[in-house]
Amino acid sequence: MNEFLTLRPAREADVPGLEELILLSVHGLQASTYSEVQREAALGPVFGVDRTLIADGTYWVVEAQSRLVGCGGWSRRNTLFGGDESVAADPTFLDPANEPARVRAFFVHPDFARRGIGSAILRACEEAIVAAGFRAATMVATLAGVPLYTRCGYIAEDHYEIPLRDGVLLPVVRMGKRFAS
């Protein structure tokens, strides 16, 4: 990242900007790996704002001249993916000694892709994850996100499909990483 970009914790007031950013990111950066039908069906239940991450203080945004251009975070809760509308939400707290933290909800504005924004957010997440006592992290990665996470040391553990409305399926990859103790 450069001096024109600012990484900071997300605030509730950011939600409208996050919703816009997620929409642009999904339709701009996921178009090469998911059909329009898949992207539309995933908006909300899979691709969406999760206010729990904001309230927990584990969600970051990147700003460029007061404009949100990236976001992402982690969780000490059991939920693996999804926004406020997710039926997969599980607010149970994880045991850092025995369970991996969850890396969650990364989105970058298409005009700012491949500028180190996702990597910078991921580094901030990993530092916080380790500081919270977790020894590992897991995530449900989109197909477009797999190359970034692989470069950052995450290993594919499982390939599967998330069922969405009207029988639509979204292929994803569960990935994990262990941290040195």
- Residues 81-98 have pLDDT tens digits of 988 877 667 889 999 999
* CATH top class, domain 5-178: alpha beta
Residue-range domain boundaries for the chain: 5-178
Local confidence pLDDT in tens for the 181 residues of the chain? 666 899 999 999 999 999 999 999 999 999 999 999 999 999 999 999 999 999 999 999 999 988 999 999 999 999 989 888 776 678 899 999 999 999 999 999 999 999 999 999 999 999 999 999 999 999 999 999 999 999 999 999 999 999 999 999 999 999 999 998 6
The residue whose two tokens read 């790996």 is 33
Average predicted confidence (pLDDT) for the chain: 94
CB atoms within 10 A of CB 179: 15
Nearest to 60 by CA among 114, 5, 139: 5
Do the Cβ atoms of 118 and 76 come closer than 8 Å? Answer: no
